[in-house]
Amino acid sequence: MPSLTCGCGEILHYGEIPCPNEWLFISDVEFDKFSGAVDAEEIYKAMKSLIKCGRCGTMWFFWNGFQAEPQQYVPQPKWHLSNQKNNELKTRKKMMG
């Protein structure tokens, strides 16, 4: 069964069908190419996959299928975003005088 090891050490298996770790997604542009009665298999082929770690929430996006390396996205705590915004505001105030 295919798997990958998350940065937190969790081993993520993604060969099961259905797979509890796998999420499927499609862009709005790709989805709009379908209309009327569609074959679910055709939509499935257009979708991308991500594997989400149940331990730390890291998401591994397979943008180019499972044959290519996934891209890792690590969740940031909410305070990180508000600190970043506060720093940007302080910088703007300094620049304005």
**What is the distance between the alpha carbons of residues 97 and 86, in angstroms, rounded to a whole number?**
17
At 9-68, the pLDDT tens digits run 999 999 899 999 999 999 999 999 999 999 999 999 999 999 999 999 999 999 999 999
pTM equals: 0.74
At 64-85, the pLDDT tens digits run 999 999 999 999 877 666 667 7
